[in-house]
Amino acid sequence: MSRGSISIDGVGKAFGTATVLHEVNLSIEGGSFVTLLGPSGCGKTTLLRLIAGFLEPSRGTIAIDGAPMQGVPPRRRPLGMVFQNLALFPHLDVFENVAYGMRIRGTAASEIAARVSRFLGLVGLAGFERRRIGQLSGGQKQRVALARSLALEPAILLLDEPLSALDLQLRRQLQVELKSIQRQLATTFVFVTHDQEEATMLSDTIVVMEGGHVRQVGTPGEIYRRPASPFVARFVGDINMLDGRIEAVDATTVSVSVAGQAISVPRSAVVGAASAGRACQLACRPESVRLTTQAGTLSLEGRVSALHRLGPTVKAVLDTPLGPLTALSMADTPHVAELAEGKTAHLSVPYDTFTLFAST
């Protein structure tokens, strides 16, 4: 395993009587890009600060590359951090900001100059050495912060929503660069965000958090296709949720009734323990709702109540006997061109695209 692995074992954190993190177990592989994803107040920043050492866990242990980190101050941990507000030193120029860590270590001046220019080159800021921080744009500050924390070549880089203050276009551009820098250096990146699109685009592994709990750990694909709970399903991308009741369970299928209509889904679609008589939620992604009739699928008719043409795709909300369903189709698929608000449309949902959450 490459360096920069983190193992988080039973870590909890309470401030006074308020528990902000419950029993987190997480193993982060060295050299991977891991995102802590969740709504504000879910404990993701707390977890990041625990890894950084700015907070000590109330319970449990954190180890980096096998070495326990208990009582080790941030400056002795093999990690760098990029702060949400970047925390660049306003009284130092770009060069001195990037050189800061090396000055503390007493690195030779020639080595400092070489490394500063190497890392400023890496983030695309060659030639900006003598600029003042106040003269930089938001994106440039972002790059300086990245270069500053990478210049010490830490095994792990922690990033606390560093892109949240930037406009969308710049954000997308920096995401691409961030990913490419991470691949080049093979440094472990632990990235905190509340933006699921950002998480999906950047990460090898996404850790979805809610209310101080880790709800799911997986690749972006796994989290999207097989969410572990209705919360994760709703948080990561759009999803249709239908309330129903489990009618029968057999070896291969589970029968559910939704608004009086029977739907059979494969057993593999079930999350949780399915037993007859239980309430459940049936979920499917909008792109699984097709605007065609197809054999072997759940076929419905619905009236278009809202229609959004988004360029390459079309998003339609349909009133069906099961309740409102959102459908997302490519604009050039058959029948989509004729869609209009108020019109009736046929739609079909393949049974194997459902996820069934059995209530506990």
Partner 1 sequence: MRGATSAPRSLGWLLLPALLVLALFLGSVALLLFHAFWNKDGFSLVYFRQILERADYHDVFLRTVSIAAIVAVAAAVLAYPIAWLLWRLPRWRNLLLVIVLVPWLVSLVVRTYGWLVILGPKGFLNETLKWAGVIQSPLPLIFNDLGVVIGLTHVLMPFSVIATLSVLLQIDNRLEEASESLGAGGFETWRRVVLPLSLPGVFTGLSITFLTSMGAIVTPILLGGIRQKMAGTQIYQEVVYNFNMSKASAWAICLLLLSGLGLALLRAAEAALVPKADR
Footprint of partner 1 (CB under 8 A) = 52, 54, 73-75, 79-81, 83-85, 87-92, 100-101, 103-105, 132-135, 148-149, 152
Give me the count of residues in the chain: 360
Specify the residue, 78 or 230, whose C-beta has the smaller distance to partner 1: 78
Specify the residue, 136 or 201, whose C-beta has the smaller distance to partner 1: 136
Q: How far is the CB of 157 from partner 1 (least distance, A)?
A: 10
Specify the residue, 135 or 275, whose C-beta has the smaller distance to partner 1: 135
Distance, CA of 165 to CA of 26 (rounded, Å): 28
Specify the residue, 55 or 258, whose C-beta has the smaller distance to partner 1: 55
3-state SS of 284-304? ECHHHCECCCCCCEEEEEEEE
Q: How far is the CB of 80 from partner 1 (least distance, A)?
A: 6
Distance, CA of 104 to CA of 75 (rounded, Å): 11
Q: How far is the CB of 90 from partner 1 (least distance, A)?
A: 4
From first CA to last CA, the distance across the chain in angstroms is: 38
Quick one: DSSP state of residue 256? E
Q: How far is the CB of 101 from partner 1 (least distance, A)?
A: 4
Specify the residue, 24 or 98, whose C-beta has the smaller distance to partner 1: 98
Specify the residue, 99 or 206, whose C-beta has the smaller distance to partner 1: 99
Residues 6+ apart with CB under 8 A from 241: 230, 233, 234, 281, 282, 283
- Number of Cβ within a 10 Å radius of residue 71: 8
Q: Which has the closest alpha carbon to 47: 7, 12, 74? A: 12
E strands in 18-152: 18-28, 33-37, 59-64, 67-68, 79-82
Q: How far is the CB of 209 from partner 1 (least distance, A)?
A: 22
Distance, CA of 87 to CA of 82 (rounded, Å): 8
Specify the residue, 132 or 343, whose C-beta has the smaller distance to partner 1: 132
